[in-house]
Chains A and B, each alone.
Chain A
């Protein structure tokens, strides 16, 4: 039982890299580099989710966080300047205070968190356990995440799809897809 769990070294390494990338993003003025580092940050979080066995979440994080949002940020960056404006020092301090208080609150809460993988934790005991035990009999597919997402909570997923559709509709209505104008006319 007292054997050292070497995989936690991987967790620490990933956490350290996330911290380093986060600090680098805050300190960078070049927006292009910042966008790229945010992609790196997403990919590192995806790797960390994999070590936590949350493969579906990792998949989404890698595809959306590192893939699509990086491209969208780059596209948005083409419309604006390449360098960030310097920010007044007083605003840095205000932000630092907010982050410190929120971080301290989170660390205070860590003591009340259930142990990782605890079968008696609230997330694992009630409805979560019910889904895991009944999926093989009721849905008969191996991936419980898909069963919960598409069948047990199909109504929620329908709502999410409508939300995504509404978001796309809003963008299409506000910005338009094919505005007829040839691009670069304004400039």
Chain B
């Protein structure tokens, strides 16, 4: 029932840390290397690790395919929506300065960048998951002898 016990225990310890690190990379992207793209890939890597260890069916229960499709579209909408919001507020497309009245600290820029990167995170994570599901779902599980 429990082959690869060490792998299971270690990955259960690691996966939450990987997800938290991914979120750190996203929300700290203004101050340190990283951003939405890297964060999306890191979070996707955490789920893929889960799928490799516990099987792709368990992963599809944790991150369902409808969620993947939804988040992929939502990311693009969030990015575009931020641009449209700045348009509605009377500035150019993706000109974030109007998003917040505090121009002295450029708070609007910070909000805009975080929102836009959140869109990138959502789309990149979902597309990575979609590609993984599409390819890995076609193969039978890894045979015992090949671990």
Contacts and interface: CB of A to CB of B under 8 A. Distances in A.
A151 interface: yes
A56 B34 contact: yes
B106 A140 contact: yes
Interface string B2-26: 0000000000000000000000010
Contact of B41 (A64, A78, A169): A64
A142 B76 CA distance: 26
Contacts of A75: 132, 135-136, 139
Contacts of B134: 171-172, 174-177
A161 B41 CA distance: 13
A2 interface: no
- For the residues of B in contact with A, the DSSP-based class is helix
A85 interface: no
A128 interface: no
Interface in B62-83: 65, 68-69, 72-73, 75-76, 79-80, 83
A102 interface: no
A175 B62 CA distance: 21
Contacts of A154: 83, 94, 96, 112, 116
B124 interface: yes
A59 B127 CA distance: 19
Interface size class of A (residues with CB under 8 A): 35 or more
B80 A72 contact: no
Contacts of B30: 141-143, 146
A139 B109 contact: yes
A168 B130 contact: yes
Interface size class of B (residues with CB under 8 A): 35 or more
Q: Which of B76, B132, B139 has the most CB of A within 10 A?
A: B139
Interface in A59-86: 59-60, 63-64, 67-68, 71-72, 75-76, 78-79
A187 B132 contact: no
A78 B33 contact: no
A177 B132 CA distance: 9
Contact of B35 (A140, A149, A171): A149
A171 B134 CA distance: 7
A161 B33 contact: no
Given A76-B135, A165-B123, A56 B33 contact: yes
B113 A68 contact: no
Contacts of B120: 157, 161
Interface of B: 25, 29-38, 41-42, 44-45, 48, 52, 60, 65, 68-69, 72-73, 75-76, 79-80, 83, 93-94, 96, 105-106, 109-110, 112-113, 116-117, 119-120, 123-124, 126-128, 130-142
